[in-house]
Structure 1
């Protein structure tokens, strides 16, 4: 493991150094584009290159499509570094196919996906395969899912793979609905398979808990049948992911963990950095940098390449509105406003009316807005430049977690499992304490 740790440290060192070099870019918040004159913060060579560029050309470069545009060497070097040092995002995970497929009936399989949105269908189907593979390899027949919501994942693991499951959810309404969906599936299953096959399967256990510390997890009241088990976190928000990793490290009963990160901007100092090694580096990540790391870079670049800017122009509208608010009253800076989806025929006035629905403000001066909105392409370009660094930020956060596990002698891997075009946070971290 020592050579692997050396390699991880090398990547972390180089990545942190580059992120600190471009901290000025990462920390720019798009809504402050006009208020703080972000364009003039770019190096002169970048301004000269990007001032009149069609955002589509920038999308071509990021998607490795040919382009005749001349870019600054400093920018090309940055793009090359990010692509070479970031964790790969194209799905490569291959299931062992050693599944215990309890319910071999297509109509019943469809029941697992009822009431589930398309993105979630994609995630729970693949995550269930990963968890089942790791559980079997670890000699575990039970798993605990934290932030289980309506129980879609534990339902598939219980009724399709025969694993004992516990779903931990803080919202009691979701827990009650999860129990109803369990019964609905069992009722439907009786029409298609032998009733003995259904009644012999472990029904998911759904619990209500609001988690705030790893010690609190030790006191969870679980059935006596839940001994050696694995932990699951499918997009746990903010500090919940790091909390689960800490619990996994200190809990002898937990034999493996499968974790997919989410909402990095909500991390506190307890959630990043985690490893002693990264704590010793100049590794600070601002809210703005962690927030940009949660965006969907693949779908964004695809819109750039297609010249589909309608959804992207909303950033310019928001930045123009911010200037109007600040000019009207500096105390209104960064006021919470309604999210508005841009449409082809939307005017700035109609956008502002909807966006400001929560604020009680008098008539404001919008005389600067026309010239601001004429620069919408620059807003899109600057946002894209920040997005270039997003995979690097996520890489540092995930490698910090991986190194934390390795510091505690735990074998850990990170695999891109989900299609990033469907589920942008697509890496599954797999940690195991025992091998068979």
Structure 2
């Protein structure tokens, strides 16, 4: 399996290398640096000659999974490019390296892990539909994994526990002892309050869930609904954090011999550190991690720009990518903007027919104004403008952006009107450019996940799985890495 993963990683990174600069561009400079001409293939650009062409090309993106013949005929090179790029997505690789949730359950049976008894009903516990979908799917997998261990001596630990959605579900439905660790004190306090409330009304929630599902309500043994099964603490997690000590402090009277380490959308380096702890800590026998926020990963072989001084200090000791010896020997890097790109979901955008936010266009216009009016003949410095919310129009954006940078807004109404008319076509072209670049998002995400998968294989973890556990439209960050030791 190691050779298969290495082969596929090699194929993907060799493909991505010539376009890595494109993946790492900042759309802020789209107008000023002529990024469309520089990075979009000439054959594709030759198919775009005016408003009608750019709009039909955008429609091809939205209909890429069932493209109408007229759009394919009009944009053959673009369609060929879309199909080719998708061959580097995890689900389309030469070797099948991932499982579905159902296939994972079958694999558990094959290695003699009995399926955990779950309620099999939709228990809505003060969560949005997206979070409910994620918690139910993740809890089912973790509940089953836990059957491979002595549950009396097992503690389930979640890094990035948030408000305790998953850990409280595991303690109530599967009667597991759980510890939620989160860096935000307010989250920790809210999680404790939520757990107390849920424990009191769990039986009622189960009954209502059974009614919605039109099934007989399960019998709930209230003597097992112990609010002390769930503990929570506030702590930041680093590669050298002593997890065993944190668990012992939370469960001082518990005979703890085994741990299950989980993370549901553990942000940035938190997922990488979870894998490092799983490899190095003999007590951690089980792992289930779903990651997110790849832009916040610390890369070993690239220099990232961060404003936060504390994050710069963290970076000196904690590298989140690459993890595998295979990519570390290559000194492989992705780049921050490319990792930011990997957080975006083509599936959701296509499903919802979403164009990029107008702020992308507004920011590019503002950059042009900055360079032409305020930085002319001067050294161009990096300005971190940040998001400007609830913008009414371009003028509103420009005024507020100038105010934020302490610059006097001095465009006349005539100049503003000319600026808008001059770049009306550019606005559509920028949208098209955005979609061409977006094709690389899943390719980059695949590299990150295969690196982690390979890292566990290199460290002789007996059972390692990449699992697509959520609906990609509901929850775009839907890949879990599952590990089971002897």
Is the structural similarity TM-score above 0.5?
Answer: yes
1:273 lines up with 2:322 in the alignment: yes
Q: In the aligned structure 2, how far is the partner of 1:292 from the partner of 1:178? A: 31
Alignment map for 1:161-200 (pairs within 5 Å): 161-189=174-202, 196-200=222-226
Structure 1 counterpart of 2:162: 149
1:92 lines up with 2:88 in the alignment: no
Q: Which runs of 5+ in 1 are unaligned?
A: none
Q: Which moved more, 1:424-433 or 1:369-378?
A: 369-378
Choose the corresponding residue for 1:348, options 384, 394, 416.
394
Task: Note if contact 2:402-2:409 (Cα within 8 Å) is conserved in structure 1.
Answer: no
Q: In the aligned structure 2, how far is the partner of 1:81 from the partner of 1:133? A: 38
1:363 lines up with 2:409 in the alignment: yes
Structure 2 counterpart of 1:407: 458
Q: Which moved more, 1:284-293 or 1:360-369?
A: 360-369
Question: Could you say which structure has the greater relative contact order, defined with CA pairs below 8 angstroms and 6 or more residues apart?
Answer: 1
Task: Note if contact 1:274-1:404 (Cα within 8 Å) is conserved in structure 2.
Answer: yes
Task: Note if contact 1:163-1:202 (Cα within 8 Å) is conserved in structure 2.
Answer: no
Choose the corresponding residue for 1:204, options 215, 230, 238.
230
1:44 lines up with 2:42 in the alignment: yes
Structure 1 residue ranges, 4+ long, deviating more than 6 angstroms after superposition:
71-74, 103-106, 190-195
Deviations 1:112-160 (A, max 9, x none): x21x222211211111112112222355543101110111110000001
1:159 lines up with 2:172 in the alignment: yes
Task: Note if contact 2:44-2:75 (Cα within 8 Å) is conserved in structure 1.
Answer: yes
Q: In the aligned structure 2, how far is the partner of 1:39 from the partner of 1:32? A: 10
- Quickly say closer, same or farther: Cα 1:312–1:65, change in 2 above 3 A: farther
- Figure out how many residues of one structure are paired with residues of the other and give that number: 418
Q: In the aligned structure 2, how far is the partner of 1:400 from the partner of 1:215? A: 22
Taking structure 1 as the reference length, what is the TM-score of the superposition?
0.87
Structure 2 counterpart of 1:82: 85
- Quickly say closer, same or farther: Cα 1:50–1:187, change in 2 above 3 A: same
Q: Which runs of 5+ in 2 are unaligned?
A: 93-97, 106-113, 208-218, 301-318
1:136 lines up with 2:147 in the alignment: yes
The CA deviation at 1:181 is 1.1
Q: In the aligned structure 2, how far is the partner of 1:225 from the partner of 1:294? A: 40
Deviations 1:63-111 (A, max 9, x none): 342343447777555433432231139993127493334x7997xx33x
- Quickly say closer, same or farther: Cα 1:190–1:423, change in 2 above 3 A: closer
Task: Note if contact 2:181-2:235 (Cα within 8 Å) is conserved in structure 1.
Answer: yes
Task: Note if contact 1:418-1:426 (Cα within 8 Å) is conserved in structure 2.
Answer: yes
Q: In the aligned structure 2, how far is the partner of 1:73 from the partner of 1:13? A: 28
Task: Note if contact 2:158-2:167 (Cα within 8 Å) is conserved in structure 1.
Answer: yes
1:53 lines up with 2:54 in the alignment: yes
Task: Note if contact 1:143-1:163 (Cα within 8 Å) is conserved in structure 2.
Answer: yes
Secondary structure of the equivalent of 2:464? strand
The CA deviation at 1:408 is 0.3
Alignment map for 1:282-321 (pairs within 5 Å): 283-304=332-353, 309=355, 311-321=356-366
- Quickly say closer, same or farther: Cα 1:152–1:136, change in 2 above 3 A: same
Task: Note if contact 2:199-2:227 (Cα within 8 Å) is conserved in structure 1.
Answer: no
Choose the corresponding residue for 1:231, options 252, 256, 261.
261
Task: Note if contact 2:385-2:401 (Cα within 8 Å) is conserved in structure 1.
Answer: no
Choose the corresponding residue for 1:325, options 367, 370, 387.
370
Query: What root-mean-square deviation, in Å, do the aligned CA atoms of Structure 1 and Structure 2 show?
Result: 2.8
Q: In the aligned structure 2, how far is the partner of 1:302 from the partner of 1:315? A: 21
Taking structure 2 as the reference length, what is the TM-score of the superposition?
0.78
The CA deviation at 1:30 is 1.5
Q: In the aligned structure 2, how far is the partner of 1:195 from the partner of 1:5? A: 46
Q: In the aligned structure 2, how far is the partner of 1:43 from the partner of 1:73? A: 13
Deviations 1:408-429 (A, max 9, x none): 0113111111111111111011
Choose the corresponding residue for 1:421, options 456, 463, 473.
473
Q: In the aligned structure 2, how far is the partner of 1:38 from the partner of 1:20? A: 18
